[in-house]
Amino acid sequence: KVIMDVNLKLRVDLYKYDQYANKLMVSLVDEFVAYSKKMKFKPVFLLMPQKDDVSFIKRKKEFFYKDFMMAIKDKLTVVDFNHTLLKAGNLDDLYSDDNKYGGHYSKLGNELLAKTLQKRLFH
Summarised one tens digit per residue, pLDDT across range 6-41 is 888 888 899 888 889 999 999 999 999 999 999 999
Give the confidence band of 110 by pLDDT, cuts at 50, 70, 90. very high
Longest dimension (CA), the chain: 43
Neighbouring C-alpha atoms within 13 Å toward the C-beta of 73: 8
Helices (H), 18-72: 19-39, 51-60, 66-72
Total-model pTM: 0.88
The rounded distance, in Å, linking the Cα atoms of 117 and 98 is 25
Residues 6+ apart with CB under 8 A from 112: 84, 85, 88, 94
